Amino acid sequence: MQMSLFIYVKRKWQEDKDTLQKYINYITDIRYKHNILLFPEGTDLTEKTKMESDIYAINHNKEKYKYVLHPKPTGFVHLSHQLLKNGNLDAVYDVTLIYPDRVPQNELYLLTGRYPKQIKIHLARYSKEILPRTEEGLKIFLEQRWQEKENTIREFYDTGNFPPGNTLRCEGDWKIYAALVFWTVLPYITLYYLIFSTWFRNLVLAHTALLLATNIVLEGFHNFEMALHRWKKKTIF
C-alpha cells in the first residue's frame, strides 16, 4: 500500500492537511496519471457509527440515513479543490457497492466462508467541467451525492433494480479466471521460494528491513518517495 502511494491519515486535520498537500504537490509535479480512492464516510456502517451519524444529522438539521453514513467532507473538499486548481483532476466517480444477500463486515466473515454471492456496483461519473470550483460548492456537491446514494440503495432494496442507466459488463470471463489462477498460485510459489531459495529469503529480508527503516524514520515508503522527489527538485532548481 505504501509503494502504491496510499494516503495515510491520522484524523487530525492540521497534520492530515500537510500530508495531503505534499501528496498533491508530488502528483502535480510528476503529472502522474492516477486514481484516488476515497471513503468520505471514514468507517464502516455499524450500529455504533449509524447512531453517531444520526446524532450528527439531528445536530445539523439533516436527514437521517438508513443505508449510508453522513460523509465527512474536509478531506474530499481540500483534495478536489487543490487538484482542480492545479489542473490535475479529470473527473470524480461516485461508486456504490451493494450486497444483496450478505454484507461482509470484517475479515472473520471471509475466514469463515461467509462471502456475498453477488456484488452490485452503481457508478456515476462527474467530469471536471461540472464540478464546483469553490470549497463550499464541493461540500454541497458531496452531500448531494450521498443523498442520491441513499436513494439509489433504497430503490435497489425496494425494487431489485438500480435507477435507469447504462449497464457495463466484463469483456470476457478469461480475465476473471486469469486473476483467480494468479492470486491462488502466487502464495504457494512465494512459500516455495522462501523455503528452498536462499537468495529469495535474503531478498525478502532486505526488503523488509528497508520498509521497517522507512517506517521508523519517515513513517512509510510513500513519504520517502515524496521526500526524494522534493530533494531532487531542490537540487536541480
User: In the Cβ-directed half-sphere of 57, how many Cα atoms lie within 13 Å?
Assistant: 18
Lowest mean pLDDT among 112-116, 137-141, 155-159: 112-116
Residue 136 has pLDDT above 90, yes or no: yes
Average pLDDT over all residues of the chain: 90
Residue 3 has pLDDT above 90, yes or no: no
- pLDDT band for position 146 (50/70/90)? very high
pLDDT digits (tens, 9 = 90+) for 193-224: 999 999 999 999 999 999 999 999 988 888 88
pTM over the 0.75 mark: yes
In a domain, 111, yes or no: yes
In a domain, 86, yes or no: yes
In a domain, 187, yes or no: no
| DSSP codes joined into one string, 110-171 | HHTT---S--EEEEEEEEGGGS-SSHHHHHHHHHHHHHHHHHHHHHHHHHSSPSS------S
In a domain, 156, yes or no: yes
- Do the Cβ atoms of 77 and 135 come closer than 8 Å? yes
Of residues 148 and 106, which shows the higher confidence score? 148
Number of domains in the chain: 1
Of residues 115 and 152, which shows the higher confidence score? 152
In a domain, 127, yes or no: yes
Lowest mean pLDDT among 12-16, 76-80, 181-185, 232-236: 232-236
> Residue 104's pLDDT is what?
79
In a domain, 58, yes or no: yes
Per DSSP, 87 falls in state T
> Residue 237's pLDDT is what?
58
In a domain, 96, yes or no: yes
Contacts for 198 with CB less than 8 Å, ≥ 6 apart: none
pLDDT digits (tens, 9 = 90+) for 30-84: 887 888 999 999 888 888 999 999 999 999 999 999 999 999 999 999 999 999 9
CA gap 19, 26 in Å, rounded: 11
Of residues 56 and 164, which shows the higher confidence score? 56
Residue 171 has pLDDT above 80, yes or no: no
Residue 119 has pLDDT above 70, yes or no: yes
How many residues are there in the chain? 237
Q: What is the mean pLDDT of residues 221-229?
A: 89
In a domain, 190, yes or no: no
Domain containing 42 equals: 35-168
Percent of the chain at pLDDT exceeding 70: 98
Question: The C-alpha cell of 70 is what?
Answer: 453522513
- Do the Cβ atoms of 111 and 80 come closer than 8 Å? no
> Residue 90's pLDDT is what?
94
> Residue 110's pLDDT is what?
78
Question: The C-alpha cell of 232 is what?
Answer: 531532487
- pLDDT band for position 175 (50/70/90)? confident
- pLDDT band for position 233 (50/70/90)? confident
CA gap 176, 181 in Å, rounded: 9
